[in-house]
Structure 1
Amino acid sequence: MDLHLTGKRALVCGGSSGLGRAVAEALAAEGAHVALLSRDAAKLQAVADGINATATGRAVIVTADLADHEALLKAVGAAEGLLGGPIEILLNNTGGPPPSGVAGLDPELWRTQFEAMVLSVFRLTDRVLPAMRAAGWGRILNVASSSVVEPIPGLGVSTALRSSIAGWAKTLAVEVAADGITVNTLLPGRIDTPRIASLDQARAAKTGETPEQARAASVVSIPVGRIGAPEEFGAVAAFLASPKAAYVTGSLIRIDGGAIKAI
């Protein structure tokens, strides 16, 4: 299926690894031109080199810390310069906080994580929306978590803050729908990424299991019987970013192998 993404300009946050990398590779395979953003220039360049060697689209890199909002906005301008025009597809993708509950946490921790995980998404989206509205076309994709639908014990901060992204995105989708812009939020379950590996290590340290045992135990609750591949996540994102998904907006898209129990 041709997703008609050839020449579209995309900005992918967290593009150096994991879900962001998978989305960038999927978009570029469909002919999109992708700006990869994260803090690590060396990792970004390695991903960009791989894309440029194999994909029909091309990749460039820009660096910024999502918690540094001024640097982040400058990076958008740099990306637009390298891509030759305004951003048409935005993947909001932030790192997750350390495992924790929610009771009794230092308010400073909440503030720091909110600025990095939530406020950065709001500001970045507001930066690219005017050009999308002027063009009458745009795609906003947000990476959240399956915990938005079914909270995961021990991931309290992540659940709370990613849920705020989901509420914001649903509201924004209504505001910009008439402008030809869709806004959707992706809810990954257990996808084989460095983030999942770190969570397995944290569980192992707490329970006395090995990381391999922790990983195997998690698979038991996944109906398809395995952990998802990043490429599977990237394929869903690429479709939602395409003109063919113009009638899908304001949605929470589960990519979890059926693990979420809620209807």
Structure 2
Amino acid sequence: MDLGLRDATAVVVGGGRGMGLAAAHCFADDGARVAVIGRTRQVLDDAVAQLRERGSPDAVGLVADCADDTAVQQAFAEIAQRWGGELNILVNAVGPTVRGTFDELSDADWRQAVDEGAMGMVRCVRAALPLLRAAGWARIVNFSAHSTQRQSVILPAYTAAKAMVTSISKNLSLLLAADEIMVNIVSPGSIASEALVGWADSVGVDGNDPYALMAAIDEHFGHPAHLPRAGLPTEIGPVVAFLASRRNSYMTGANINVDGGSDFT
């Protein structure tokens, strides 16, 4: 399906790998101009090479740590200069790296989780808003997580930060409705990300086998999906691309679970 993204401008924060890169691939496949923002130059360079091959010849990778507001502002200033001060799509796919049970986490751990998982998104939206408002149409898609609805004892800080993302996104959808800028949330379930595959390997499971991975999730966490396998990053990208496109003409403030089936809405 043509999503109407040819020559649209899209920024994917955390677009160098995983689910963010899968979304960036979809934008490039549809002919959009794509920028990916991340912390590691080599990762971004590899992503940009893929995006150019897939249909975004002027794709660009910008190094910025989303914990640094100055760096974020500079990245979006460069985007404004490249694209004439307008931006159609902003995707925030960065998540916190903090893990540990409640009694293992320090104040510094909680602050890090909120800074990485929620405030990074806040900084990027704040920097992008003038560009989004200047465009003829605009969409924002923010990544939350299914753990906000199905708790895990090793993810309290991660989950709290993602719950902030959900709440702030819903508030933004209300604020920006007058501008007809649609803001939606994607909550991935058990997706075979680098982190989850690495965890599976650490417990002796082949993390690259989505069926084995889901069986391990069931055994260790009691959180199986209805489907008998874990999801793939490539199964998240098309959902993000639709929400970010002009084809999505009347959805805003929605939280979309992409989780292989669950008992929550």
TM more than 0.5:
yes
1:163-182 → structure 2 map (5 Å cutoff):
163-182=163-182
Structure 2 unmatched runs, 5+: none
2:206 partner SS: helix
Report deviation, 1:71.
Answer: 0.8
What letter matches 1:67 in structure 2? A
1:129-148 → structure 2 map (5 Å cutoff):
129-135=129-135, 137-148=137-148
The alignment yields a C-alpha RMSD, in angstroms, of: 2.0
Query: C-alpha distance in 1, partners of 2:58/2:23?
Result: 13
Query: C-alpha distance in 1, partners of 2:132/2:52?
Result: 26
Query: C-alpha distance in 2, partners of 1:235/1:58?
Result: 21
- Asked if the contact 2:145/2:186 (under 8 Å) is kept, the reply is yes
- Asked if the contact 2:66/2:124 (under 8 Å) is kept, the reply is no
1:14-33 → structure 2 map (5 Å cutoff):
14-33=14-33
Report deviation, 1:240.
Answer: 0.5
Report deviation, 1:144.
Answer: 1.3
1:92-107 → structure 2 map (5 Å cutoff):
92-103=92-103, 105-107=105-107
Report the CA distance shift for 1:81/1:198 in structure 2 as closer, same or farther (over 3 A): farther
What letter matches 1:257 in structure 2? G
What letter matches 2:127 in structure 1? R
Query: C-alpha distance in 1, partners of 2:46/2:228?
Result: 32
Report the CA distance shift for 1:257/1:237 in structure 2 as closer, same or farther (over 3 A): same
Structure 1 unmatched runs, 5+: none
- Asked if the contact 1:219/1:225 (under 8 Å) is kept, the reply is no
Partner in structure 1 of residue 230 of structure 2:
227
Query: C-alpha distance in 2, partners of 1:219/1:47?
Result: 32
1:99 partner SS: coil
- How big is each residue's C-alpha offset from its partner over 1:231-250, in whole Å with a ceiling of 9 and x where there is no partner? 11000000001111121110
- Asked if the contact 2:231/2:259 (under 8 Å) is kept, the reply is yes
Report deviation, 1:75.
Answer: 1.0
User: Matched residues, percent identical?
Assistant: 32
- What is the aligned length? 256
What letter matches 2:122 in structure 1? F
Query: C-alpha distance in 2, partners of 1:65/1:108?
Result: 18
Q: Give the TM-score taking structure 1 as reference length.
A: 0.90
- How big is each residue's C-alpha offset from its partner over 1:100-123, in whole Å with a ceiling of 9 and x where there is no partner? 123463212222222222112112
Query: C-alpha distance in 2, partners of 1:85/1:48?
Result: 21
What letter matches 2:254 in structure 1? S
- How big is each residue's C-alpha offset from its partner over 1:199-233, in whole Å with a ceiling of 9 and x where there is no partner? 435xx4xxxx4133872322681222212121110
